[in-house]
Amino acid sequence: MPDQSKAVRFEEIALPHLGAAYNLARWLLHNEHDAEDVVQEAYLRALKSFSGYYGGDSRSWLMTIVRNTCYTWLQKNRALRLSDPIEDKLDEVGLDFADPEMILLQSADSQMVRHALQELPVEFREVMVLREMEDLSYKEIADIVDVPIGTVMSRLARGRKRLQALLAKRMGKEARIELPRNA
C-alpha cells in the first residue's frame, strides 16, 4: 500500500510539469523521439529519488532532473560542445548591423525566431527557454542549471544579443524590414 500511495503522490507532484519538462527536453535535444525517451528516463529517475524529495518547489526539483538527464544524453549521443566563454564573441554570428538589439519583432516572425533559437549554443538556449517560455525566475533557473544568479543574468543577456544578431542577419538577407542603423 505505501508504494502504491507513493506512486500516486509522485504522479500528482510530477505529472503537472510534463509540459514544461517535454518542452525543455525538446528544445535541448532537437528531436521528438529523443525528447520523449529522455523525459521518460528523467521521470523514472525522479521516481527513484522521490524519497529524497521533502516538499519545496516541485517544478525546480523535477526540471533539474530533466535538464541533467538531457545533458547526460547529449554527452553520450552527441559530442556536447559548450561554447568557450573566452572565445565567445558576437562577431561569429556576423554582426552586420549597427545595433541588432533594436530590431523589432512581430508574432509573424515566430518561425524565424524558432530557427534562430535552435542555432543558439545549448547553455544559452536552456536559459532562454526557461525564462521566456516557462517564465521562471532567475533564482529558479539558477537552481535548475546549477550556476549563480549572476551567471543566469549574463547568459540571458548574451543569449538575447546573439539571438537578435542572428535574426538581424536573417532579416537582412530577406530584406524584409528596415533596420534602424543609428538612433
Partner 1 sequence: MSCHETRELIHGYVDGEVDLVKSMEIEEHLRDCHACTQSYKGIRSLHSVIGDGALRFDPPTNFERRLRSTLRRESEPQRRSIILRWRWVLAGTSLIAAVIVIWVVAGIFGRQSTGDLVAEEIVSSHVRSLMADHLTDVPSSDRHTVKPWFDGKLDFSPPVKDLSQQGFNLNGGRLDYIGNRRVAALVYQRGQHSINVFVWPSSGAAPVNEKASVHQGYNLIRWTNAGMTYWVVSDLNLAELQQFAQLLQGESQALS
Identify the CA nearest to 93 among candidates 147, 22, 174, 166.
166
Contact 129, 27 (CB under 8 A): yes
Name the minimum Å distance from CB 88 to partner 1: 16
Q: Taking a C-beta distance cutoff of 8 angstroms, is the pair 64, 126 a contact?
A: no
Q: Which is nearer to partner 1, 79 or 107 (CB)?
A: 107
Q: Which residues would be at the binding site for partner 1 (CB under 8 A)?
A: 3-4, 6-7, 10-11, 15, 18-19, 22-23, 26-27, 32, 35-36, 39-40, 43-44, 47, 51, 99-107, 109-110, 113-114, 117, 128, 131-133, 135, 137-138, 148-150, 153-154, 156-157, 160, 163-164, 180, 183
Q: What's the rounded Cα separation, in Å, for the pair 138 and 154?
A: 11
Question: Considering the complex, what minimum distance in angstroms separates the CB of residue 119 from partner 1?
Answer: 14
Query: Contact, 125 vs 117, CB < 8 A?
Result: yes
Distance CA 72, CA 8 (A): 28
- Judged by CB, which is closer to partner 1: 85, or 150? 150
Q: Which is nearer to partner 1, 175 or 183 (CB)?
A: 183
The span from the CA of 7 to the CA of 19, in Å, is 20
Q: How far is the CB of 20 from partner 1 (least distance, A)?
A: 9
Give Cβ neighbours of residue 162 (< 8 Å, ≥ 6 apart): 90, 93, 120, 124
Q: Which is nearer to partner 1, 79 or 106 (CB)?
A: 106
Q: How far is the CB of 105 from partner 1 (least distance, A)?
A: 4
Compare residues 44 and 80 and give the one whose CB is closer to partner 1: 44
Q: Taking Cα atoms as reference points, which of 54, 52, 46, 37 lies closest to residue 15?
A: 46
Cβ proximity to partner 1, 26 vs 71, nearer residue: 26
Residue 78 CB, nearest distance to partner 1 (Å)?
19
Largest alpha-carbon pair distance within the chain? 69
Q: How far is the CB of 46 from partner 1 (least distance, A)?
A: 9
